[in-house]
Structure 1
């Protein structure tokens, strides 16, 4: 039963969940223009994505405990203000160093939105309802890779690359205003419990969360699937530019992946009404692993000057991710309602750190093009296997305890 019968603010939640992705995806078509205008290299522009992921990762650890002590609304609005400040710095950048600083500040702000929307859902609703919300909101995140690059490419052509960041600034301001109108009062009970226990250090709280094999296993899967996607986001603009594609073409290339992600997400939502996650997840993970292996195989064989052969297995991976994300994210957090913001922050921190690593490796070896990108993607299959083994061990222990009780 839902803790408080209120209308679920899906649009607001979706906007918060998409903010970091919008800031990541909208400027992808402008990579080459940024490189030329800021007189820098592909590698340095690639680092603007990697450093954003790093800031997002660091922010996750800060906002979780902070929101549990100061209140979710205050921290969320403050984080959106930080996002806006960083966005302005990006827009007025005259060199790549200033862009990197702006992107880092921007990412620290975006991290607050990611942590707080997840903890808001976990604390406010029961397990079944929260899973339904995750399965509704997370597939909508896929609209960002499709629509954001298209919008970014259009803005860059018509008004210059700076307009992309001014658009993001407008989004940040509008969502800060909307957040100020949301009632967070029903979440204060949990926050008060955490506040009344100052002797428990943040580090000990994180260690306690990590001891859960269920959390760790789901987190590793979530991180690996995300890392494969961010490896693609980092490498595909450069690869497509080298093939002769325009910024508009790069933006359009994300449309089929988005459709696949949404189909995967809402197919999962339908399946959850008939089957449990233990039945669905193994099949989804096998699909993910086969798709990243296929992507690497296609890259090795060669694609000529066409991105289409790579897009085919990539769409299968996107569909798998669309279904995997809501399952593993919700499963990782449902056991931590008393400190959901910290658990959410830790989940997203570790997810983003693997994404940072994947993105950085692709940037570092950008001269190898699709080979480096697809190799990093394929490596994530190993992490997925490790994560699932932890979940399986936790399930066996739980079943054994239930049988002996």
Structure 2
């Protein structure tokens, strides 16, 4: 197919900016994965049930979904730097509240506030990328950010376990408070303002509700956003359901589970870097369309194995690996496509995508748990429905007609 002009000569990789933006997007994965090993200890210390303890994760996801709708328009109106620093301060204060929480109710509230602050980083990092790069280079840079983010599921659970040995579960939240301080200082010192004058003028001329209303009228944007959210729901479903599947159903030890979790994270990282290589030759929409079909195929095979039990876990786990890897191929391209629809509203688009992703992901995680029957069928069924919906959104709504058939 024809390579677009901005794909012919890739822009030099600004590694300093990539590392800073990667750290900004790390609020969510670090805050979730680091405290997962501490959940049983938190429940015992605060005298909370397993359901109440699990609600600390649900509260965090809810805060991530809601807060993004605030920071996106704010970054278009006031610039990229100030909202990130405000969010980092809120995150830091909420982390201290979590560290000092005397009850599970206080911890749930603290986690919600922590997410309200931390979501600023991811929203604005995506907007900064679109400020600085064209469509194809945006997809490349977002794939690099996924490389950095992908290290979180591998490293942070291990770090959380070590911190617990030294300082207990409260020490994890003190460490997260320090992370918030570090991001605030780094943004203050190293992140230059990237919002354009055109974006600022448009943001001042319309209220956030009008901005979102304008965006929701754009068919391609809805397609990219739904595709990304539904593909992301596969990862949320896996995170919430994998401990039960791998430890309780398949009988692996918690230590072996950590290795399985890490291998699947490497799959996502590897796929995101394969995406960078593919983008040297193909447009992001071309890669996105084909990846959605391949992912759907693996999901169909995985659900068939779970439903029939013919291949057992030794077939299901490789299929799960391949299905999860689609996240690395699709997320950067859906984000780049959405941000290219209306670059003047990059902050609002980033917020819309992030809010939809966490909202759909939380619902998918709930659905997988609600239909739990002691087998892999509910988890793989939810993944299959999500990926089929993602492919439909891409081919029916997102892809321009001239590229869908290239």
- The reply on whether 1:242 has 2:248 as its aligned counterpart is yes
Distance 1:303 1:94 in 2: 49
- Seen in structure 2, the aligned counterparts of structure 1 residues 176 and 76 have a Cα distance that, compared at 3 Å, is same
- The one of 286, 289, 302 equivalent to 2:296 is 289
Alignment of 1:169-208 (within 5 A): 169-197=177-205, 200-208=206-214
Contact 2:306 2:375 in 1 (8 A): no
- The reply on whether 1:396 has 2:401 as its aligned counterpart is yes
- The one of 15, 25, 33 equivalent to 1:25 is 33
Report deviation, 1:326: 0.7
- Seen in structure 2, the aligned counterparts of structure 1 residues 259 and 150 have a Cα distance that, compared at 3 Å, is same
Comparing 166-175 and 368-377, the one that deviates more = 368-377
Specify the alignment match of 1:229 in structure 2.
Answer: 235
Distance 2:157 2:356 in 1: 26
Specify the alignment match of 1:265 in structure 2.
Answer: 272
Q: Secondary structure at the match of 1:254?
A: helix
Q: Secondary structure at the match of 1:12?
A: helix
1:313-368 per-residue CA deviation (whole Å, 9 max, x = no partner) reads: 22112221101111111111112221110111111111111012112334445674
1:252-275 per-residue CA deviation (whole Å, 9 max, x = no partner) reads: 331111111111011110011012
- Seen in structure 2, the aligned counterparts of structure 1 residues 316 and 84 have a Cα distance that, compared at 3 Å, is same
Distance 2:50 2:310 in 1: 21
- The reply on whether 1:359 has 2:365 as its aligned counterpart is yes
Alignment of 1:4-403 (within 5 A): 9-197=17-205, 200-242=206-248, 247-301=254-308, 310-365=316-371, 368=374, 370-391=376-397, 395-396=400-401
Contact 2:224 2:393 in 1 (8 A): yes
Contact 1:291 1:313 in 2 (8 A): yes
- Seen in structure 2, the aligned counterparts of structure 1 residues 27 and 372 have a Cα distance that, compared at 3 Å, is farther
Distance 2:368 2:49 in 1: 14
Distance 1:166 1:297 in 2: 45
- Seen in structure 2, the aligned counterparts of structure 1 residues 360 and 47 have a Cα distance that, compared at 3 Å, is farther
Q: Secondary structure at the match of 1:275?
A: coil
1:286-332 per-residue CA deviation (whole Å, 9 max, x = no partner) reads: 2322333344344445699x976653222112221101111111111
Distance 1:30 1:384 in 2: 33
Root-mean-square deviation (CA, aligned residues, Å) is 3.0
Unpaired segments ≥5 residues, structure 2 = 1-5
Distance 1:75 1:375 in 2: 39
- Seen in structure 2, the aligned counterparts of structure 1 residues 232 and 5 have a Cα distance that, compared at 3 Å, is closer
Count of aligned pairs between the two proteins = 396
Q: Provide TM-score, normalisation by structure 1.
A: 0.88
Distance 1:50 1:342 in 2: 24
Specify the alignment match of 1:402 in structure 2.
Answer: none
Report deviation, 1:87: 1.5
Contact 1:53 1:107 in 2 (8 A): yes
Report deviation, 1:162: 1.9
Distance 1:84 1:245 in 2: 36
Distance 1:318 1:92 in 2: 36
Distance 1:25 1:160 in 2: 16
Q: Secondary structure at the match of 1:88?
A: helix
Contact 2:267 2:321 in 1 (8 A): yes
Distance 1:95 1:302 in 2: 43
Distance 1:27 1:377 in 2: 25
Contact 2:292 2:390 in 1 (8 A): yes
Report deviation, 1:139: 2.9
Distance 2:12 2:191 in 1: 11
Unpaired segments ≥5 residues, structure 1 = 400-405
- Seen in structure 2, the aligned counterparts of structure 1 residues 6 and 363 have a Cα distance that, compared at 3 Å, is closer
Contact 2:79 2:200 in 1 (8 A): no
Contact 1:150 1:248 in 2 (8 A): no
Contact 2:286 2:403 in 1 (8 A): no
Q: Secondary structure at the match of 1:187?
A: coil
Comparing 1-10 and 219-228, the one that deviates more = 1-10
